């Protein structure tokens, strides 16, 4: 099995083929048979996990596992504490709310590199860096979140996937996960079964608890005698009836 971490450059597709001739991961990771776990937008940068371990790929891609991903986000303007509180609490996306997130203002990351295409710059509007950690995978979620609170995203870098960080990995470079990293990654998601392994349990008949109280019968109903509990009426002697005598 192969487990690879790659730093996807700006304007590179998170796939290995493209009919329109755009740059893909194939130009950076010449390893056959591995596929991305999840996605990272064409205009975003940073970490993507690749593997040929299908069960692990399914687990990490399943939303219910809530894999935390941390992003460095350059936004236009200087976010207020109110805006940060909204990001943390959950943002109204019209059709739904985002789950609670971690969000804070940070200095420009020391590990950051120059992007191949500079960001949109306006001299009269400052920019700020945020660190945002989410566990959802909605389409362009972080960009929509910052825009919703009034601070559009100018640059987005995925800096961490669970415990895997971007430190020491230049754009376009990749590395194999260490045995310890693989072990930790699998352990984090081994408690819950793969979605493909889930089955509907067969229905079983309910049995009464040992000390259960029998339900009350409607008033006026009499139990029907059965077996040994039935009382036998005396047999009438036809002759005695005619003679006025009882047996």
| Residues carrying an active site annotation | 41
Q: Of 197, 202, 164, which is closest to residue 62 (Cα–Cα)?
A: 197
Strands 153-161 and 69-76: antiparallel
**Contact (Cβ atoms closer than 8 angstroms) between residue 98 and residue 192:** no
Helix (H) or strand (E) holding 184: helix 179-188
Tokens of 150: 């009034």
Alpha-carbon distances, residue 119 vs 106, 125, 226, 237 (angstroms): 18, 13, 90, 114
Distance CA 152, CA 140 (A): 12
Helix (H) or strand (E) holding 240: helix 238-243
Residues contacting 112, CB < 8 A, separation 6+:
72, 157
Q: Please give the full DSSP string across 51-102, using - where no structure is assigned.
A: ES-HHHHHHHHSGGG---EEEEEEEES---HHHHHHHHH--B-SS-BPPP-E
């Amino acid at each position: 099995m192969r487990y690879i971490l790659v730093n996807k450059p700006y304007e590179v597709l998170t796939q290995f083929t493209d009919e329109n001739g755009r740059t893909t991961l194939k130009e950076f990771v010449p390893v056959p048979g591995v596929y991305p776990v999840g996605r990272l937008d064409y205009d975003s940068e940073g970490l993507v996990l690749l593997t040929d371990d299908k069960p692990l790929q399914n687990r990490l891609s399943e939303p219910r596992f809530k894999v935390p991903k941390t992003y460095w986000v350059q936004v236009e303007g200087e976010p207020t504490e109110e805006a940060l509180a909204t990001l943390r609490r959950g943002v109204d996306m019209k059709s739904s709310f985002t789950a609670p997130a971690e969000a804070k203002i940070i200095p420009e990351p020391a590990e950051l590199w120059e992007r191949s295409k500079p960001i949109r710059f306006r001299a009269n509007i400052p920019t700020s860096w945020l660190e945002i950690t989410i566990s959802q995978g909605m389409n362009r979620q972080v960009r929509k979140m910052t825009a919703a609170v009034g601070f559009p995203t100018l640059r987005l870098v995925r800096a961490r996937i669970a415990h895997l960080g971007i430190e020491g990995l230049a754009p376009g470079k990749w590395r194999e996960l260490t045995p310890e990293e693989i072990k930790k990654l699998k352990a984090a998601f081994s408690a819950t079964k793969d979605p493909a392994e889930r089955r509907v349990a067969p229905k079983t008949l309910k049995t009464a608890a040992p000390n259960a109280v029998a339900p009350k019968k409607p008033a006026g109903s009499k139990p029907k005698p059965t077996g040994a509990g039935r009382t036998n009426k005396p047999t009438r002697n036809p002759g005695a009836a005619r003679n006025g005598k009882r047996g």
